Structure 1
Amino acid sequence: MKSIKLVEGWEHYKGSLGGAWEVWREEKLPNSFYHLPWETVTLPHCYNSADTVDPDVKYYQGPGWYRHKLELRNPYPGGRTRLRFEGVGQKAAIYVFDELIHRHVGGYDEFCVDITEASERVKGNPLYHACTPLAVEADNSRDLQTIPSDISDFNLYGGLYRNVHLMYVPQISLDRVHVKVSEVSEQQARIQVNARLYNPMNSAEKLKITTLLRNPQGQEIARVEEICEPWQGMRETALKVIQTPALWGPDHPALYTCTVLLESVHGATELTERFGVRYFEFMKKGPFTLNGKRLLLNGTQRHEDHAGVGGAMTDEMIRTELLLIKEMGANFVRLGHYQQSALALDLCDELGLLVWEEIPWCRGGLGNQDYQKQSKDMLEAMIDQHYNHPSIILWGLGNENDWEGDFTYFDKDAIRSFMKELHDYAHEHDPQRVTAIRRCEFCKDIVDVYSPSIWAGWYRGIYTQYETYSRNEFENTDRFFHMEWGADNMAGRHVEKPYTGFRDITEGSTAEERDGDFLMSGGEPRVSVLGDWSETYFCDLVDWHLKSQETMEWLTGTAQWVFKDFSTPVRPDNPVPYVNQKGVVERDFTKKDAFYVFQSYWSKEPMVRIYGHSWNVRWGQPGEKKRVRVYSNCPEAELFVDGVSQGIKLRDSQNFPCAGLRWDIELSEGVNRLKVVARKDDVVVMDEVSWEYQVEKWLSPNNLQLTATRLSENKVFLEAKAYDVNQVYCPDASNFVRFSVSGEGRLLDNLGTALGSRYVQLANGRAGIYVECREDAEGSAAVTSDGLKTAMVMLPKYGQLI
């Protein structure tokens, strides 16, 4: 088999066409008015890369077309030419010239298309005797009878946002290899290899099948050869019992390799799959065990979404994100709310991250037979395509299926029946894993593992009652796993006294999020509406959850929502509009302070971090004691302010906040330089930060001041600050501001980050954005805000570089 990743050579047109002929019509009639504005693009590509976080428009949902002229050179006589699409959002139609070859519904599962005969037929067209014209229509139009629902809390991206591969295979080839690992213990494991053929011409010639197994060191441990007839479906090719296997786990993610080689008169192909040997159990009314030992699942969750590219994350972006999750110390990740790229699963295997992967049956209710068929097809594809990943322990069957809204009816019995159908299918096709859902109480008895909704301290209740809420839910669930907890937090926003207005919040016995709680007004009092959306509050909430989880011996584990901020159509009023800001990193991987809170509990590598690196100005009275928070996994730390020791503190994870690593000190007016030194065994780690301390009081914001700093030949940084009528800086101002540029500059906006939105809330009285402009550009910038005086500034030339 020969596979080529099709990255270059693509053109894109966003909009609808009358049919596939319009993709190519201008080539036959080049001087007519039929010309369309095709754009040269590379894959992966998402045509919603910017508009989902544009504060002034509704994101585009509709068709988008791609075209490519393939130069086919199949090396196999009588071979097959196939295209493998890793994901097309959300529906796809594949054409060779104007001939429809295949339709696919579902934006997240892979599918293959055979273009062998069609590529031969198109050679009769004189325009394409030397190439094969390929057209792909991607379409993310709204459709109630598809999943995921458009009322989901994430965007349904459009485009070829995952890789496309051109594959040449012989007339008969391998299509899929499954490695079934069962009867696992520390003493042995049973390995069964099953394979499926791709044989569209029903070739009957005999085959030679060779199956090789290699251990994690690359040494061959088994080889099975046989001569056989072609077969249909999955068939066993090898069976091996491994003695004293290397067990896969978070600390030692040992990976075996299975290679199946098919040889015939038509040519040879081989598929190589990695697999792991491990066994696990979600104990009834108890914790989780991996390889016979209790493991507290410390997790987070991710969307495939990134600043500037939308759903079209590159391989390098995906790799960076999974490495960051591992660096944070997590051993588990939920892939919400859809099948994610194969590379993400490969990395989870390599890094030792256990996985919950799910289909996008998310909110809305239950649709017609087409809706249900799509759901089942996507479950079948997810299990088939990701079967061999040892990282996956749970197949997610749904999310928030108690949330109605897509249909005039809401039939709980029908939802239960369909959930049972999915559950049974998953167990029939993969009995080695378990099923799960999150937040659908009337279906919790159907699946193996259930996650109720517990948002202590954000949508409901208070975080100091987190353990009580969790225990109550644990008692009402056979196998409890807590998915989704956390809080929105605006990057760069810090407060001297985080929100503690818990007297206004009803504690209750549960902290279940209810429909509409995500809105910024209405409903019962909740921190998400009354709170400050600061990193300070978020860190305290995370800190409390993590210190509590350490002592909950019955707990299987939890996963914080979510690792990285992501775009969503249902949150236009957020400080960064259209962004769910619950991440511990921003949408461009910029770390927030909570990243280090997690590290202080989960990471094994010595670390220390002073809270508030982006907290430029602190404020208070002269002589007033101010809290310095330090997060570390070292047993002790010493704080210095302007070179003077403030004493050594010992770490105690149950001493909230900061595990006892907190100092209440006096800051001097002006600049204060802080350093912390922490020790773990023979390793010393340090961190430093500088804060300005403001004692001058301020009134309500009255005006904005804007500065422009030339950073390089083609980039300028704009920073806006709020001041009162006496020109005193307002370090707690949170007004919305809008940046604009005139002349020869371009705002680097629509990124969905604190420094990448032209319309954004101030964080501690300031906001910033970058401008792309030539070194000699003539232009100006302005910042406006309702009720405040506008500020303007000229863009500096390169000679004014600071």
Structure 2
Amino acid sequence: MIETPLRLRHDLSLGWGFVRGRVGRGWLRGRGDGGEMVDLPHSWNDQDTFQHGRRSYSGFGAYRREMDLPTMPGSGVWKLRSEGFYGIADVWLDGTSLARVDGQFLGFEINLSGSLAAGPHVLAVRLDNLFHPNVLPGKRDPDFLLHGGLAGRVWIEWVPALHIDTGHVEVVCTPDPDGAELLDLRCAVNGLESSPMNGRLSWSVTTADGAPVATAEPMPIGDGTLEGSTNVPKPRCWSPDDPQLYWAECRLETDGSPTDVVRVRFGITRAEFRPRRGFFLDGTRVDLHGCNRHEAIPGFGSALPPELQRADAELLKNYGCNFVRLSHYPQHPMFLDACDKLGIMVYAEIATWKSVRSARGWRRAARRQMRDLILRDRHHPSVILWGMGNESRSRKAYSELRGISNELDPARPVTYAENNLYRAHRQDTIGIPDVWGVNYELDALEDACASSRLENVIVSECCNHPTSIKGDDREELTQVATLEREWELMMNRPYLAGHAVWSLTDYATEHRKRYRRLTGLFDAWRRPKMAAELFRARYAEEPMISLFDTAPGPATPPSRFRRDVPAASNFSDRELHVFTNCESVHLRRDGEPLIDLEGAIHFVVPIGDAFEEISAAGSRRGSNIEARHHRNVRASRIELVAHDGVFTPGRTITIDVAIFDDDGVTVRDWNGHVRLQAEGDARFHTYTDSDEVVMARGEGRAYLTLGSREGEFMITALAGGLAAGTATIRIAPPGPSGAADQLVGS
């Protein structure tokens, strides 16, 4: 994360006119109807994905808005910046084409004229989400959607003529033998040709909350390339249990006054993959366990607001994940910021999917994206691996990408995800990655380990069950069995650094007309399936018990993770699946003792169907927990719960929907749809235009983006025959930072 507190920054994320389809130069110059009003981030595929049989829109779109620039003192330059999106974009200012850019999931930066006049201007962006062979991933029909639109924020920033180049600020950490940490501090200063050269540059280091840690001696600007160093005497190394962060501040002064300040957030990590021994942090072996994440939600496309970026990281942490692979493209820096703060390790990669090749144009685009990805994200302590590709191979391309990584970030290893070791041998990619990534070939782990430079392997994809729809007992239990079976295959392999389940959530795709892939531990709205509870039982620290009452599931082989209780003849028609990390669990059936469970994380207990309540009580490391499951309950009403209690204008909040009986018990066999209504200034994000929520096991979820008008309004949930659910939302005034379109500066 990089901040520039002295620079004037004008956020342009609100109030864009949007047109889906082609537009001419007249529209780009500000003529004609501006179109639908939208805010950024925005995707034009927010309501046409995740629907069986419906192709999402792939084509053109355009955005336009006015901006009013103030008169700026002194000399400098305006820079237009954006966050990432897919596709090719033409950027226009006041009727003139500025640049043609590749969004490359990372965004763009355009230097505007330093003489750009104060007053109103018209900014327009015309882009597409079509297939381009040399725009990564460079594949016509990958197994994920290439969402269209400006999926990140856009802003304009005033940069003084003499300034620090944010793309060339670097903090390199090296441990000293005495236990201290040596920080090499590097930066470049631009604008020397037009500004006085009597400036000085100084560095300081603080903890995340501002406590001073170290300083470096001030140095003259010289030729504009500066290096300094300092020591952190007793560093707190970043780890999943203690994700300590620091700030390094680079301050440029001329004639005794500050001209520019750049702040870089970083962490001190001592991470290494040891040959045939796995992954280590600060000398301690750490088992990597997590998921592959796609950056999309129905109703948003890939244009996730900050609240939902952070929520995904919190979801991973709460369910015991310490690792996430960002498949299969660069993802939003806010998600990486959240991983830094929560202690989640990251495998970050460029955009590929069976598309790595030796063609010159593709390799040029891949080199550029690899370079820009590393320059943007190398200060995130959560990043432990750079990914070069997925399920495709080219010795020439991978050798070039490895060279870029070694040049820019030699301490971090590179990998790529391989699903065919035989083809890797034939195409001679053996020995290029530091760590070998295995997709599904669990019988090839030993050979894969020997194929990497560091004799180390990570399972980059596994446990893929593509039809596990939430609420279907048999499909969910098959997914559970898939995890248990593949976990068995990965046991007792010290050279295996860890694994990433495919996938964190269900997601939209049109590859082979699949439309949706139901592979997630969670559904597309981040509601857990049984497999998520199994994962949590294995890896989470907080005590948990989760109960599911089902018909007898599919036959499964024995597993160290599962215990089956023999069935009595009168109990054989229903099963209770108990997922827990407790040392022991005591079950009661309608108040009477049923059985004590221990020695596994998944128990299958025959219970029959003639009961009203199953209760479970357990403990873990001295902490007690209880859970209850009810049967034969009758749906009577809908309940709404609004999370994220600070309701400020523009915020996206999560609305959970539940079906209850008269006593407030969730009706677990209620599947269907609930219709939502909002009376005030707000918009529901549903994956169709019907404002319906998909319900499974009596639960559903919706997202609501608040408008700009303050005050109270009511949201209502309706379903035939049930008492409506209501919730009152109050939009409060924003804090001192005000609206997103405010000019902020010193």
Superposition TM-score tier, normalisation by shorter sequence:
0.7 to 0.9
Distance 1:243 1:613 in 2: 57
Question: What is the aligned counterpart of 2:164 among 174, 182, 192?
Answer: 174
The Cα of 1:563 is off from its aligned counterpart by 0.9
**Structure 2, unaligned runs of 5 or more:** 1-6, 553-567, 641-654, 660-667, 677-682, 705-717, 727-746
Distance in 1 (CA, whole Å) between partners of 2:630 and 2:309 is 33
- The aligned residue for residue 663 of structure 1 is 605
Aligned position for 2:556:
none
Indicate the RMSD between aligned Cα atoms, in angstroms. 3.9
Distance across 1 between alignment mates of 2:722 and 2:615: 35
Cα separation, partners in 2 of 1:351 and 1:738, compared to 1, 3 Å = closer
CA gap of 1:86–1:226, structure 2 versus 1, over 3 A, is same
1: CA distance, partners of 2:722 / 2:580: 42
Tell me the distance in 2 between the aligned counterparts of 1:648 and 1:718. 31
Matched, 1:609 2:546: yes
Tell me, in whole angstroms, the C-alpha distance in 2 between the residues paired with 1:251 and 1:292. 14
**Secondary structure of 1:679's aligned partner:** strand
Q: Which one-letter code corresponds to 1:133 in the other structure?
A: V
CA contact (8 A) 1:210 1:260 kept: yes
Rg larger in structure: 1
* 2:588 aligned residue: 640
Task: Note closer, same or farther for the CA distance 1:371–1:686 as it changes in structure 2 (3 Å cut).
Answer: same
8 Å contact from structure 2 (residues 549, 575) kept in 1: no
Does residue 332 of the first structure (1) align with residue 323 of the second (2)?
yes
Indicate whether 1:490 and 2:468 are aligned: yes
| 2:456 corresponds to | 479
AA of the residue aligned to 2:324: V
- How far did 1:103 drift? 2.0
2:599 corresponds to: 651
Q: Within the alignment, does 1:558 sit opposite 2:499 as a pair?
A: yes
User: Is 2:43 aligned against 1:3?
Assistant: no
Write out per-residue CA displacement over residues 145-194 of structure 1, whole angstroms, 9 at most, x where no aligned residue: 32112332111111110111221221222222211112466712221111
1: CA distance, partners of 2:691 / 2:391: 29
Residue 401 (structure 1) shift: 1.4
Letter in 1 for 2:581: N
Q: Counterparts in 2 of 1:385-784, with a 5 A limit? A: 385-402=376-393, 415-439=394-418, 441=424, 442=427, 443-454=429-440, 470-471=445-446, 473-474=448-449, 477=452, 478-486=455-463, 487-495=465-473, 534-546=475-487, 549=490, 551-570=492-511, 572-573=513-514, 578-611=515-548, 623-624=571-572, 626-652=574-600, 658=602, 661-668=603-610, 672-692=612-632, 750=687
CA distance in 1, matches of 2:693, 2:354: 30
Instruction: Report the equivalent of 2:191.
Output: 199
- DSSP-derived class of the 2:371 partner: helix
Q: What SS class does the counterpart of residue 543 from structure 1 fall into?
A: helix
Structure 1 residues 448, 270: closer, same or farther in 2, change over 3 A? same
Give the aligned partner of residue 371 of structure 1: 362
Which of 20, 28, 31 lines up with 1:23 in the alignment? 28
With the length of structure 1 as denominator, give the TM-score of the two structures: 0.73
In the alignment, the residues of structure 2 paired with residue 422 and residue 284 of structure 1 have an alpha-carbon distance, to the nearest angstrom, of: 22
SS of residue paired to 2:431 = coil
* Counterpart position of 2:131: 142
Q: Distance in 1 between matches of 2:489 and 2:109?
A: 47
Aligned 1:12-411 pairs, distance under 5 A: 12-19=18-25, 21-24=26-29, 26=31, 35-36=32-33, 38-73=35-70, 75-117=72-114, 119-120=116-117, 130-148=119-137, 149-176=139-166, 177-183=169-175, 187-199=179-191, 202-215=194-207, 218-229=210-221, 231=223, 235-236=226-227, 238-264=228-254, 268-366=259-357, 368-402=359-393
Change (3 A) 1:613 1:41: farther
**SS class of match (1:611):** strand
Q: Deviations over 1:479-503 (max 9, x none)?
A: 21111112224333444xx5xxxxx
Counterpart for residue 508 of structure 1:
none
Instruction: State the 1:557 CA deviation.
Output: 0.7
Counting matched residue pairs gives 651
Q: Deviations over 1:411-462 (max 9, x none)?
A: xxxx21121011111101111111110116242321111112216xxxxxxx
TM-score of the superposition, structure 2-length normalised?
0.79
**Greater length-normalized contact order (CA 8 Å, ≥ 6 residues apart):** 2
Structure 1 residues 718, 749: CA separation in 2 closer, same or farther (over 3 Å shift)? farther
Residue 388 of structure 1: how far off its partner (Å): 0.9
**Residues in 2 aligned to 1:672 and 1:50: alpha-carbon distance in whole angstroms:** 41
- 1:6 corresponds to which letter in structure 2? L
Residue in 2 that maps onto 1:704: none
Give distance in 1, aligned partners of 2:201 and 2:314: 37
For 2:353 and 2:127, the matched residues in 1 are separated by 21
Q: State whether residues 50 and 308 of structure 1, in contact with CA within 8 Å, keep that contact through their aligned partners in structure 2.
A: yes
Aligned identity (percent) is 23
Q: What amino acid is aligned across from residue 488 of structure 1 in structure 2?
A: P
Counterpart code for 1:83: L
Distance 1:629 1:276 in 2: 41
Amino acid at match of 2:266: F
1:454–1:469 contact (8 Å) kept in structure 2: no
Shift of 1:343: 1.0
CA distance in 2, matches of 1:769, 1:313: 16
CA contact (8 A) 1:571 1:579 kept: no
Question: Following TM superposition, by how much is the alpha carbon of 1:378 offset from its aligned partner in structure 2, in angstroms?
Answer: 0.6
Q: 1:799 to 1:278 in 2, by over 3 A?
A: closer
Higher mean displacement: 354-363 or 538-547: 538-547
> Are the aligned partners of 2:673 and 2:692 in contact in 1 as well (CA < 8 Å)?
no
Maintained 8 Å contact 1:7/1:164: yes
Q: Could you list the per-position Cα deviations for residues 13-49 of structure 1 after superposition, in whole angstroms to 9, with x for gaps in the alignment?
A: 1111233x323453xxxxxxxx446010011101111
